[in-house]
């Protein structure tokens, strides 16, 4: 059992709270029983598990068996060490080090029914996490984040995904120009959610497509507002100017899914 705060394991886990270190090592942290259970269920690349025996749940025995079958190292820690490793005030008793997926454009699978989600400059971690969770629920499995979007592995983003992060292909740090070029090379129609667009329910669009959703305050990048692209907006009453971007994205995604036949 780890009891020293100066242990190399502890130092490494603490360092993963920083974005640069996460990127350098290609690893990130997840905390809590439900999140770890989702990671196991969705077959994430779990590299190490840290568990505090004093906070074990009844489900631990079955989880432990699965982890051992998969050859995943399990390291016991005391409560003091657990508190040092985590960012939460009252840690649940388990955390995991997970490997990042190293993806590029060639990893995206494009066919006649593809919906590719482009998240352009979203800043709020909760919004991004909710968007990713909603996307998967609506049948979208592939996402591109443009440069300037909040870090995918920010703890608040991860918690908001509720584990769905492990079932998505997510490219990060894409430039808007790269997105346009890729979409055109694959025959993807580009649909941009924008306050100045056409009413969503009156706008025809066809698959395959790339849906672009933009920054909370400024909307999508200028390149995605080109007259050559289709821009859609949500009809609103009572002089409401706009909706939260995660809510708006969900509505658009489910309208796409409805027309797709989900």
**Residue-wise pLDDT tens digits, 195-218:** 889 999 999 999 999 999 999 999
pLDDT band at 54 (very low <50, low <70, confident <90, very high): very high
Measured distance CA(95)–CA(85) in Å, rounded: 9
Residue 262 predicted with pLDDT over 80: no
pLDDT of 58: 86
Check: CB of residue 102 under 8 Å from CB of residue 132: no
Q: Judge whether residue 32 has pLDDT over 90.
A: yes
- Contact between 116 and 183 under an 8 Å Cβ cutoff? The reply is yes
Tell me the domains of the chain and their CATH numbers: 8-99 (3.30.1330.30), 105-260 (3.40.1280.10)
CA separation for the pair 221, 120 (Å, rounded): 7
Task: Copy the structure tokens of residue 232.
Answer: 């859609």
Residues 84-142 pLDDT 10s: 999 888 899 999 999 999 999 999 999 999 999 999 999 999 999 999 999 999 999 99
Model confidence over 69-85: pLDDT tens digits?
999 999 999 999 999 99
């Amino acid at each position: 059992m780890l009891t020293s705060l100066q242990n190399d394991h502890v130092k490494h886990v603490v360092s993963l709270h920083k974005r640069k270190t996460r990127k350098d090592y290609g690893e990130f942290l997840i905390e809590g029983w439900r999140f770890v259970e989702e990671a196991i269920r969705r077959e994430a690349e779990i590299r190490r598990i840290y568990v505090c025996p004093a906070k074990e749940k009844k489900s631990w025995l079955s989880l432990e068996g699965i982890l051992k079958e998969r050859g995943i190292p399990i390291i016991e820690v005391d409560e003091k060490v657990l508190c040092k490793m985590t960012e939460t005030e009252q840690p649940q008793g388990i955390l995991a080090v997970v490997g990042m997926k190293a993806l590029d454009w060639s990893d995206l699978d494009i066919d006649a029914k593809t919906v590719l989600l482009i998240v352009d400059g979203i800043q709020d971690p909760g919004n991004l996490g909710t968007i990713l969770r909603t996307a998967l629920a609506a049948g979208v499995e592939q996402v591109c984040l443009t440069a300037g979007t909040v870090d995918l592995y920010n703890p608040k983003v991860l918690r908001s995904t509720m584990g769905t992060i492990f079932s998505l292909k997510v490219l990060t740090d894409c430039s808007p120009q790269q997105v346009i070029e890729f979409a055109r090379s694959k025959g993807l129609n580009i649909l941009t959610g924008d306050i100045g667009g056409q009413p969503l329910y009156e706008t025809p669009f066809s698959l395959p497509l790339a849906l672009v959703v933009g920054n909370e305050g400024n909307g999508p990048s200028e390149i995605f507002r080109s007259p050559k692209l289709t821009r859609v907006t949500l009809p609103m009453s009572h002089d409401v100017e706009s909706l939260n971007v995660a809510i708006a994205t969900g509505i658009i995604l489910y309208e796409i899914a409805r027309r797709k036949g989900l």
